[in-house]
Amino acid sequence: MKITAQEEYGLRCIIQLAKQKDGEPLMVRDIADREGLSIAYVEKILWTLSRSGIIESVRGPKGGYRLTRPCSEIFIGEVMRALGGIPSSEEICGQFTGNHETCVHHGACDLEPVWASITDFVNSVFDRIPLSQLLQGKLEVKMVQLTPKSQANLVG
């Protein structure tokens, strides 16, 4: 179970945008400096995020990137999914080329419920944390609660 580089760096970049006052665009060069990444790489990551509509670009002098919404209305889950994100249990099972007869056709997959519970939970946590919360020192989420689906799987 791995956090990808896109996710880590993508979140860091968008946090830099969230720290910006007003709607002032922030230059790629500044983000790259602050996070210790190359300009080219930051450009690539921001381009990915802008395709999903979470951020937008301002061209020309004094240009840069900025959030399309206030940072209190942008949740980490949305950002993670834009960056490649958390696969669903169906995607995990479909991704691996093993014995599909047992798993898919006979409905005898032992692992699907495990992946379903984990990915469901991760999504539910990420969808509760707005960017604004990351800017404060302390991370807070009102309540940790599983979705009905993962409860059915996990809680006996």
Where along the sequence are the contacts to DNA (CB under 7 A)?
2, 4-6, 9, 25, 27-29, 37-38, 40-41, 43-44, 46-47, 50, 57-65, 84, 96-97
Residue number, 35 or 43, with CB nearest to a copy of itself: 35
Q: What is the DSSP string of 11-22?
A: HHHHHHHHHSST
Distance CA 50, CA 40 (A): 15
Interface positions with a copy of itself (CB under 8 A): 1-5, 7-9, 11-12, 15, 34-37, 76, 80, 85-87, 92, 95-102, 110-111, 113-115, 117-118, 121-122, 125, 129, 134-135, 138-144, 146, 151, 153-156
Is residue 23 helix, strand or coil?
A: coil
In sequence order, which residues have a C-beta less than 8 Å from that of residue 122 and are 6 or more positions away? Answer: 86
Least distance in angstroms from the C-beta of 86 to a copy of itself: 5
Q: How many residues does the chain have?
A: 156
Pick the closer one to a copy of itself by CB: 58 or 125. Answer: 125
Q: Which pair of tokens denotes residue 58? A: 């301002």
- The Cα 114–Cα 124 span in angstroms is 16
Minimum Å gap between C-beta 101 and DNA is 17
Kindly state the smallest distance separating residue 142's Cβ from DNA, in Å: 31
